[in-house]
Amino acid sequence: MIAPVRVKICGITNPGDARIALEAGADALGFNLYPGSKRFVRMEEILPWLASLGGDAVKVAVMVNPTEAEIAGARAHFDVIQLHGQETPAQCAAAAAGGHIWKAFPLTAELDADAVTACRAVALVIDSSVPGAFGGTGKLIDLAEAARFVQACHGLPVWLSGGLSPANVREAIEKVKPYGVDVASGVEAVGNPRRKDAARVRAFVAAARNAVA
């Protein structure tokens, strides 16, 4: 039996949106701890409700070029650290020594699937390449290039991100065949990157579940 494609709802900023994602069936929730993000949350502000969410979804701390101390501080409250910056393989390996990490990369033709294994990540995240940005831009990733990269990873879990929405996620899954799909802007309320649209979240998860990877 083929395992369903996993779904991560990223950029969660409040408990209401977290519960919407959980009720829709999300497998992972992403919390952006990078101050430069429109979806930035301070860890001390979300801790009062983070632990009370319940459910089996993986809680992911999205961090950009964090210090070792910042990673250690997040470890106690999150299941996975997602490194979404310009971290070197050595820095990633050091972080991986303390627990599970996912490593995100902007997808370019030069991204080498064999080389990224040096990061010792248990999963990879590929995102559309936008100079000066660390994800969340809404730009659709190159699906053909993404499919090539996933195939070259020989079974290493790859999360597909970058411009996904309820309207295109099924096609993206069927073309790329990723381990999971990761969405932020594609399920947000119009004009408000800090709030999710419940109907769009449900539609996204449903479309991903109906895809044939």
- Residues tagged active-site: 10, 127
The Cα 110–Cα 47 span in angstroms is 39
| Rounded-to-10 torsion of CA 32, 176, 151, 112 | -50
The Cα 192–Cα 20 span in angstroms is 16
Question: Closest Cα partner for 7 from 198, 160, 194, 189?
Answer: 160
3-class secondary structure, 4 = coil
